[in-house]
Amino acid sequence: MERHHRCRLQCILPPHVMKRLSESSASATRAAAYDTARLSERLRGMRMVLADFARAVPTGELRRSIYDAENTERLPGALVRSEGQGKAKDATVNQAYDGLGATYAFYDEAMGRLSIDGHGQRLDATVHYGRKYMNAFWDGTQMVFGDGDGAVFGPFTPHVDIIGHELSHGVIQHEAAFEYHDQPGALNESFADVFGVLTDQYQRKQDVKQASWVVGRGLIVKFPKQAIRSLAAPGTAYDNELLGKDPQPAEFKDYDPKAYPDDNGGVHIYSGIPNHAFYLAAMKLGGNAWEKAGRIWYLALTELLGRGAQFSDAALATVTAAGRLSGTGAEKAVRDAWEAVGVSATSTSALRRRKKKVA
């Protein structure tokens, strides 16, 4: 099918949200949803080309550049803050700058990874993209932030978990590089969610019991206590008259990729299944999730999984990683977590093995 081969822009908000908003009774909301969908569709075909031109910093040092698109559709826009410069007058610029720094610090200090590509890639971001653009995305080389429409969604830059999610798509791009459809695509979104919430937890120094385990809380203007995804309880992140009810399932028995053809087989929907497995494993292992479950998932991503991985491959890879890193107790905790969501740890040809030293 065509959708198996088309490049899909990896946005934080899925297509079903835009479809819902396009049917709103408010004309301004319908217009903003239409413009968001139009721009996202136009950019989808660019991502794989842009990925070939990822910019690296030879010294391997943190290097952030924030650009302002000034509500146009041109990227990257005008440079407004570079690494080491003082704060800008625009809070959005500073939030993007700080979010990139928080993500860099998480990967450097918690995972031992030097930037997105592991070799010091510079971190660029553009703010104020388009007019009332209701999304944020990784385009293959940089972060891009819309301002939201102010009525349904606010700005995306204050949310470190969203920034961590999108930049983690860059990490995935350089590692397992999951195909963006069906189960591999759901794993793509899930690993991005996992490392997005871990970035936020690491910055806040929250253990598994203190963490909220949601992505994007506060993004929905009229419902600031709601979020866009929940790892602890998929399907409960939001429920309101603007967006409807969160459709994510937590168990594999509800997996039906044909139900979401506009989302490449439900990559943003069925990510809830591996998301919940990670949450259950993290809670069982306890402590700081980035030190235990996070290291297991990172090892699986960077050493054991390949482009066509299915949920069962991810289960086997994380069980294997748990055994290597922490022994049989952790291995059982991870296996039990996957079985709780209805996935068995079995092998397919999608598993890869690289001759790299295991951390």
Known catalytic residues are: 166, 268
66-95 burial string, b = 16+ CB within 10 Å, else e? bbbbeeeeebbbeebbebeeeebebebbbb
Peptide bond preceding 184 in cis form (omega within 30 of 0): no
Given a contact cutoff of 8 angstroms between Cβ atoms, the answer to whether 122 and 64 are in contact is yes
Question: Cα angle at 276 between 275 and 278, to 5 degrees?
Answer: 70
Torsion sign (Cα): 52, 55, 61, 64? negative
Q: Structure tokens of 150?
A: 């102010």
Query: How far apart are the C-alpha atoms of 79 and 94, rounded to whole Å?
Result: 13
Report the Cα–Cα distance between both ends of the chain, in Å, rounded. Answer: 39
Given a contact cutoff of 8 angstroms between Cβ atoms, the answer to whether 155 and 145 are in contact is yes
Given a contact cutoff of 8 angstroms between Cβ atoms, the answer to whether 182 and 264 are in contact is yes
Query: How far apart are the C-alpha atoms of 232 and 213, rounded to whole Å?
Result: 6
Question: Across the strands, what pairs with 245?
Answer: 239
Q: How far is CA 153 from CA 5, 184, 272, in A?
A: 31, 28, 22
- Most distant CA pair in the chain: distance in Å? 57
Q: Structure tokens of 255?
A: 């997996």
Alpha helices in the chain (DSSP H): 15-22, 27-44, 47-51, 91-105, 160-174, 182-204, 272-285, 293-299, 311-326, 328-340
